[in-house]
Every structure is written in structure tokens, then in C-alpha cells.
Chain A
């Protein structure tokens, strides 16, 4: 039992810095967004990524395209389904650090534009999201599961 606890502690000790660490690794210059086809390396401030259980990775030039892909995976990727998704990573607006996309909050309706125009701007905490709402005229704060295809239509 103590062994399990120490193993867990060790895991936590390594896992926490890993999550709080810097930006997503820079993708190669020829990597394209799976949805719009733009080269993603040029836009590090909105970079987003889905990693699959089989080791495959899909890159996106912003959370908006990531959600389009995630909510309609059959249209973009025949080999994978929602259940194959291991990890969703987005870029925090303020720190540009890589954060867990499923835990992130997304601010809608801001005057911050991504490479593809209107964006769902990712934040790590409620306080950050509230500040972003206030400073950039946001309209709503959404959780990962609250982003629907209908809502994405409104961002075109």
C-alpha cells in the first residue's frame, strides 16, 4: 500500500510540471490543419492538437477547427472515432502554454481573432476567463462539452 502511494506521489510530481510546462511542441513547417488545411506552425498562439490512442496526432490552427473536427470526426478522419481520442491540447491565451483542452474554458464573442477569424479563446481558470470577457468584450464562457455544432456555425 505505501508503495502504491509513493508511486502515485511520484506520478503526480512528474505529471503536474508536465501539464504546467511551456507551449505545445512546435509542429513541422509542413503540418496542416486537419480542417481548413492551413499550415499550423505559423500560428503558435492558437495551436491546438488531438492525440489518439494509437499514437496518431491531428493538428489545428485554433480551437474552433479542433471542435469542428471533434464534433464531426467522420467527415475528416475515417480511421479514428471519439473514443480513440487520448488527449486534447489547446494553447492558453494569456500564457501561450499548452493546457488540457477538456478542462479548459472557452470564451466566445471576443474581439480576439485567430488565424481563421472568430475564435473560442481558451483559458485555464474561471478568473482568467472572466478577465478575458471583460477586457475583450466576450459574450459567453463555455466548457468543452458545451461547444455544439450549432454554436460553431455562428462562428463562421
Chain B
């Protein structure tokens, strides 16, 4: 047992020394390899991170959101629906919500206004990204154009926490009266109803009853929203991976080519090793350790870089392709998270193809005839 470990250790030693002897060539290979791992890893981590963030936020979301359609288009919901929906069996709570969008021509960004009890009349609370973008902090005054062309000012009393910016980045909390004055939303109408149903099994039945109660109501289930988000980000991630697969292929060709076209020097080296008593198995093992060192180094460096890029650098290289649902959206950070499944996927996408591409050339190199190469 110990002898076998010793043998592997010596072979590894030899392999590393042999790698170091051809510094330039191997450094280039490791560089390209690292870049491939980095790109694929960034895409995987980012897609997973954003899906996880969406799921985490939606875990708090109401089980059903009720909207109304008129002539097939979305319309505000009469506030008196609230009591009727609350009376349905299986519903624990109904919250009428009043919210909407606002386009700021100065920043060229869309904000989301939400009526919330935390905001007193004449005062607003801002999302963290919005606060940064407008340079408005607690104590400052912020102005918006009302629907009738008047200019309305509010005092900023607070900034929402930065813990999760995906939904609160562009949010403004405002009092109900202020919001109706700003947008002209008529009294008695709300944007939608947030319905809480404790038992997930009962959600479809409640949605059916709501649709039965108000034929032009449109109940949207949380599970549907989650599924939509999932498929959206899966699709974006898939597109990105499809583009990157060309890079991966190019890299594999490079690796294969490098492993096949052994230089005369390398062939001579193998020939000499065989002449001094190494057998094919030893040379294969040495080549295996060479491949392992290159792979592990590139994989480690690439994943570390990808992690840093996604969670500390906000994924600046790939963000435009993956997050681009709205170019007007204020920036946000993803909570860092890395599960074993992403690392394993990344491993199978990079190290396994690399090993597969180099194993046959390695075997062919190991079976050269010493007499022929040294002659």
C-alpha cells in the first residue's frame, strides 16, 4: 500500500518537473483552460444564483395574486372584491395592493411605486439602488411628475435594506392618498389582491373558486410565477452555454492537438524513459498526473475567478446577456451561494472532456518504440 503511494508520489514529482521544463507551452494551455472554466463557471453560478434569489423572494410572495381583465387587457380590481375573496374557504388573508410603474426621463429608468403603511403622507421610502441613482438619502426631498402635469415633492424618510435588491432595488414606498393624487388612480380601485392560502394543496381549488366568483378575474399562482422565472433564466443560461460550447469545442481541439502532436523532444524523452526500464503503464500514469495537475490547477483557478466575478464583481462580463430583461433596471448584487451540484456540473463540462480528449494521444505516446525515436 505504502509502496504504491510512494510510486505515485514519484511519478507526480516527475510529471510536475516535466511540466515545468516546458513552462511557456503549458502556461498557455492552463491560461486558456482557466478562461474556459471561468466563462462556463460564471454562467452556471450566475444562472443558479439568480434563480435561487428569485425563489427566495417568491417564498414570501402570496400564493395567489388576483388581477382583472377587461377586453383581454389588464384593469385595476374593485376593492370590494377583497371581502368576497376573504370569505372563501381555505383563504387566510387577503391584502388589496396598490402599485404601479413610473418612468423617470432624467435617469431613463422605471421605478415601482408601492402603497405601504410604512410611508406616512408626504413622505416616501426608497429602494437602495434608486436612492444611489437619484442621490436621495433620508432627509432629502425627491420630486415626481404627477399625472396632471404638476410637480410633487416628497420627503425621503428611509432607504430599504440592501439585503436583497432584486425586487426592492427600484421600489418607492408611498402613502395611499399621495399615490392616488400622483397617478390619478380612482378611489375604490386597487392594482391587485394578494391572497394567502396556508395549504398549498388547496391553492388550485381557491383559484378556481375566485374565477367562478368573478369570471373576468385572473388568478396568478405563485408556483406559475416561479416556473416562469425558472424557465426564463434556464433559457438565458442555456443560450449562453450554447454560445460558450463553441469556445469549449475550440479548447478541446487545442488540447487534443497539443496532446497528439508530441514534439520530437518529448518523443525522445519517452523513448529514453522506456529504454531505462519504464513500461507503458508508468508512462500512462505520468501522463495522467500531468493531465490531472493541469486540470485541477485550471479548474481551481477558473472556479475561484468565476465565483469572485459573479458574487463580488456582479458578473460584469456576462451580465448583459443573462440579466437583460430591462436595461433600465438599477444594479443589484446576488447573495453568494455555491452548491456542490454547480461545481460537479462545471467539472463534467470541462475536466471530463479534457481528459477524454487527451487520453488516447497519451496512450499512443506511451506505446512508442524506444528504438525508433532514439535512432
Chain A residues in the interface with B (C-beta under 8 A): 45, 93-97, 112, 128, 131-132, 135-136
The 3 closest A-B pairs by CB, nearest first: A131-B89, A96-B198, A94-B90
**Complex interface residues of chain B between 150 and 205 (CB less than 8 A to chain A):** 198-202, 205
Residues of A within 8 A of B202 (CB): 93-94
Contact, CB under 8 Å: B92 / A128: no
In this complex, how many residues of chain B approach chain A with their Cβ under 8 Å: the count is: 10
The docked-state distance in angstroms from the alpha carbon of A95 to that of B202 is 10
Residues of A within 8 A of B201 (CB): 45, 93, 112
Contact, CB under 8 Å: A128 / B205: no
Residues of B within 8 A of A95 (CB): 92, 198-199
Contact, CB under 8 Å: A45 / B199: yes
Q: Which residue of B lies closest to A23 (CB)?
A: B198
Residues of B within 8 A of A132 (CB): 89
Contact, CB under 8 Å: B205 / A135: yes
Contact, CB under 8 Å: A94 / B198: yes
The docked-state distance in angstroms from the alpha carbon of A127 to that of B357 is 69
Residues of B within 8 A of A97 (CB): 198
Contact, CB under 8 Å: A45 / B200: yes
The docked-state distance in angstroms from the alpha carbon of A135 to that of B88 is 12
User: Scoring B residues 132 to 153 as 1 if CB is less than 8 Å from chain A, else 0, what string do you get?
Assistant: 0000000000000000000000
- Other A-B contacts than A93-B201, A94-B199, A135-B205, 5 sampled, CB-CB below 8 A, are A45-B199, A95-B198, A97-B198, A112-B201, A128-B89
**Complex interface residues of chain B between 348 and 371 (CB less than 8 A to chain A):** none
Residues of A within 8 A of B199 (CB): 45, 93-96
Q: Which residue of B lies closest to A128 (CB)?
A: B89
Residues of A within 8 A of B92 (CB): 95
